[in-house]
Structure 1
Amino acid sequence: MPLAAEHTGGLLALIPGTAGLLTVAAAGIALLLVLIIKVRLQPFVALLTVSIAVGLAAGLSVTELFGTVQKSDAVSMIETGMGGILGHVAIIIGLGTMLGAILEVSGGAEALSSRLLTLFGEKRAPLAMGLTGVIFGIPVFFDVGIFVLAPIVYAAAKRSGRSILLYALPLLAGLSMTHAFLPPHPGPVAAAGLFEVDLGWIILMGVVVGVPAVLAAWAYAVWIGNRLFVPVPQDMVEAAEEAKAAVLAEQEAAGRAPHEAPVPLSTVFAIIGTPLLLILAATFSSIVLELSTLRSVIEFFGHPFVALTIALLMAYYLLGIRRGWSRTSLEQVSTSSLKPVANILLVVGAGGVFGAVLQGSGVAQALSDTFSDLGLPVIVLAYLISLVLRVAQGSATVAIVTTAGIVVPLVENGGHSQAFLALVIMAISAGSIFASHVNDGGFWIVSKYFGISERGTLKSWTVLESVLSVAGFAVAALVSLLV
């Protein structure tokens, strides 16, 4: 599309061509940051507002943005952008959220961490907590993982008498790594949809990039944990004990046994591992196998929608029905788990709108041409853009979807492989977790849940996230030279 030929009016009437489009892009990103940081506007509303403003400033007509009332079949850029990304993301996030909720409520998380603590012993308890974070972080959101696993961290730190950082930070590193790099979490899933990359490649590259990154973060966790003593927050311990007592009392009042047998570790691994293996098998069957019935069957069961549905049904039976849950209880847990997802889906959808407006207005092409002239590799640009957006406004999801909308045109006609595009997504994801500080809700959750002062949180959690980010990007950049 010629940069200014398709549209008239807007800012381009004053500043022609590429210069005008770049000015629109810069002003749009600046407005987005002001609305989120200063005005404290909800990110969904901020993204939608900026998308409309950028489209109008770049010369898009009202009809192109919204369609028309008279012509129901008129192309609406906002509807196309919203529907295009949510059609791919919403089902995956919804299924993944329900799966995580069943694992959480059934006691799967506690069984996993307790078994690992027993297996590794007291001296290697920090490593056990780190592995718990990685494994349990795959199906659940970051903050949910903290809420569920924090009492186990309190107990381990209280028993040893050492700094709670030694146990909390490895757990947090595991939860953060899976949240940033692996499906079914919203960031990598949304980026995969925008880049049109198979989730199998995202899983593979997420493991390749995430494992070295989390090892580097664990090393820092041990270093700072031995140098900065933070006692166990007694008020949070008491609150956890009260909550547990309330749950037990409720179970007794309902006539249910208050102590169920622990969830077998093999069951937890089977439920979490099944969708990952099915999706990976489908991805590589398309490379290794010729078109055949076998390949069609593998690709069917390995489609993310099918694979996650199978895992959810396994959880319903193995963790629910077989352990005495009623169908009503399963329904209640599943339904309640979906309530917090609405905000995430709206933000991701608005990010899709932003990307569609950038594409349709010619702004994305102008950015692509300009970045190409800078001579920096696209994977470096992707990381830096995501990093700046993350530090400026705090939300990893907003950083990922906004950066993806900017970066997609840079790779659109480059003939890149799925593996390379997955690594670009890893770079974006790595940038989105850099330097969590006071404008990030996760910063305050970590600080308050583990009783760390603001200064101590900056020294521990903020640096931990930066180590995870830089190490993840370094690995993605190195691997990109080989694919």
Structure 2
Amino acid sequence: MGATVDWLRTTTPGLLVLCGLAIAVLLFAIIKVKLEPFIALLLTGLALALAAGLPVSKIVGTAIKAGDSLLETGFGGILGHIAVIIGLGTVLGAILERSGGADVLTGKLLNLFGEKGTPVAMGLLGLIFGIPVFFDIGIFVLAPLIYVAAKRGGRSLVLYAMPMLAGLSMTHAFLPPHPGPVALGGLLGVSLGWLILMGFVCGLPGFVAAGIVWGSYIGKRIHVEVPDEFLVRKEDETAPAPDEGERDADGSGGVATKTVTAAPPSVGLIGAIIAVPLVLILGATFGTQMLDKDSQLLQVLTFFGTPAVALLIAVLIAFYLLGVRRGSTVQELSQLTAESLRPVGMLLLVVGAGAFFGKVISATGIGTALADTMSAAGLPVIVLAYIISCGLRIAQGSATVAIVTTGGIVAPLVASHNYSQMSIALIAMAIAAGSIILSHVNDGGFWIIAKFFNLTVKQTLQTWTVLETILSVVSFAVAAILFAIVS
């Protein structure tokens, strides 16, 4: 027995077995036992640490001091990096949505592209509006607009829904301030500026292939009518009024009604507010590459381009231009902020627990053992990252769990190489791409899409599941090619 334990704790095959068992237990707890991922990750991480023989003082600290423990540094390190960003990003998305920004963008894009180009307009709507809002919230807000467009066009709901879903999925998987990319920034030590750049470079080709090309192809072959009960606006309206057709917070589809007291915001204003944090963050990233480190301008760019500061500025601008100036009180804006932040708590706990799990993996030496094994097999880190992320996504359904778990496993491999920020960002894109592949019945998003777009399970597999797989594969292919060139 003692020899077996020593083998598990000190040899490369043993450590790999421990890692495999830990991941298997994690998946079993989430999939079969239906345990909340936060609890499953925490329990599995603690069990792995004990099984690997790590000292209790290193795992949880002592009764007097726990600040240096894996538990606190695992949670605290990542949450200190992402909590403010995700919180501010959520609030920004809420004020943009409540102001009627989605409606304004829809009207502009429809006028620009015309009736034949409406599916493309829906894709761009999802792409633009997906930057500041979470994936499921984007569906709740934009679905009524898709219903009206499909009813007017007299064509399949699938033709209009797939491009929009591809835009929302691409931004959610690849771009900050969404949880996955932000978490990868902290886990892999790469700036959000590089993640934004590589997110667009890798994600946009996937969006075109999955949303525009595939969406157009499958939308002409699977016809889905818009049920009358889905329509929350009159068909003859040319542009929906602000806040009309908003869905209940539980996503049940109930229509929330509000009294409109101000004209809709302009497209330019909505676009400018969305662009503010992206421009500031990219300014700091390019400034670091182009300016002297002692430059006063670089200090200014770095301060305002810090993601938390950039998003705070955007939130304050949105509060004034879309709130106070349009008649909202500070109390109403505070209430909106509180409502929008309620769902964020569990998300942060899952990310923190995933980071702790990754910290344990690093401390046990499993990461080094895995690096040695992969090096011997000749498998590039970026391919390994994609395969692990794909496996976790397919097995348990959660993109966030797949990202933070894969990031923790791959982080030691990345740290062992002298990769550039661009190369690390491409590895992050591979992980993000893997986390969205083959969405099926164990993914909550699968059922949201089936419900909101009147699809059977078979139709959802034929449309949405294939769309996600194309988006994943194409985006990874772009990341892998670029990685081979720059690394």
Same-fold call, TM cutoff 0.5: yes
**Is residue 75 from structure 1 mapped to residue 68 from structure 2 by the alignment?**
yes
2:485 counterpart SS class? coil
Normalized against structure 2, the TM-score is what?
0.93
Q: In structure 2, what residue type is equivalent to 1:59? A: G
What's the counterpart of residue 228 of structure 2? Answer: 234
Report 1:248-267 matches (<5 A): 248=257, 250-251=258-259, 258=260, 260-267=262-269
**Is residue 221 from structure 1 mapped to residue 224 from structure 2 by the alignment?**
no
1:438 to 438, 441, 447: 441
2:231 counterpart SS class? helix
Q: Distance in 1 between matches of 2:454 and 2:319?
A: 36
Long gaps (5+) in structure 2:
234-243, 249-253
**Deviations for 1:309-345, whole angstroms, at most 9, x for unmatched residues?**
1100110011101111111111011111000001110
2:299 to 291, 296, 299: 296
Q: Is the 8 A contact 1:68 1:74 kept in 2?
A: no
Q: Distance in 1 between matches of 2:424 and 2:332?
A: 41
**Deviations for 1:42-81, whole angstroms, at most 9, x for unmatched residues?**
0000111110111111111222111111x32563111110
1:202 to 188, 195, 217: 195
CA 1:86–1:188 in structure 2 vs 1: closer, same or farther (change >3 Å)?
Answer: same
What's the counterpart of residue 335 of structure 2? Answer: 332
Q: Is the 8 A contact 1:11 1:24 kept in 2?
A: no
2:18 to 10, 24, 33: 24
Q: Distance in 1 between matches of 2:106 and 2:383?
A: 37
1:434 counterpart SS class? coil
Q: In structure 2, what residue type is equivalent to 1:122? A: E
What's the counterpart of residue 40 of structure 2? Answer: 46
Q: Distance in 2 between matches of 1:241 and 1:327?
A: 24
**Is residue 463 from structure 1 mapped to residue 466 from structure 2 by the alignment?**
yes
2:144 to 151, 159, 179: 151
Report 1:15-414 matches (<5 A): 16-69=10-63, 71-72=64-65, 75-217=68-210, 218-238=212-232, 247-248=256-257, 250-251=258-259, 258=260, 260-290=262-292, 291-414=294-417
1:473 to 459, 473, 476: 476
CA 1:10–1:178 in structure 2 vs 1: closer, same or farther (change >3 Å)?
Answer: farther
CA 1:46–1:166 in structure 2 vs 1: closer, same or farther (change >3 Å)?
Answer: same
CA 1:440–1:302 in structure 2 vs 1: closer, same or farther (change >3 Å)?
Answer: same
Q: In structure 1, what residue type is equivalent to 2:274? A: I
CA 1:366–1:219 in structure 2 vs 1: closer, same or farther (change >3 Å)?
Answer: same
Q: Is the 8 A contact 1:274 1:307 kept in 2?
A: yes
CA 1:73–1:442 in structure 2 vs 1: closer, same or farther (change >3 Å)?
Answer: closer
Normalized against structure 1, the TM-score is what?
0.94
Structure 1 residue 355, shift from structure 2 partner: 1.0
Report 1:445-456 matches (<5 A): 445-456=448-459
Q: In structure 2, what residue type is equivalent to 1:51? A: G
Q: Distance in 2 between matches of 1:79 and 1:16?
A: 25
Q: Is the 8 A contact 2:8 2:52 kept in 1?
A: no
Structure 1 residue 235, shift from structure 2 partner: 2.7
Q: Is the 8 A contact 2:180 2:404 kept in 1?
A: yes
**Deviations for 1:267-321, whole angstroms, at most 9, x for unmatched residues?**
1111000110110110011111112111111111111111101100110011101
Q: Is the 8 A contact 1:233 1:450 kept in 2?
A: no
The percent of aligned pairs where both chains have the same amino acid is: 57
What's the counterpart of residue 238 of structure 2? Answer: none
Q: Distance in 2 between matches of 1:157 and 1:14?
A: 58
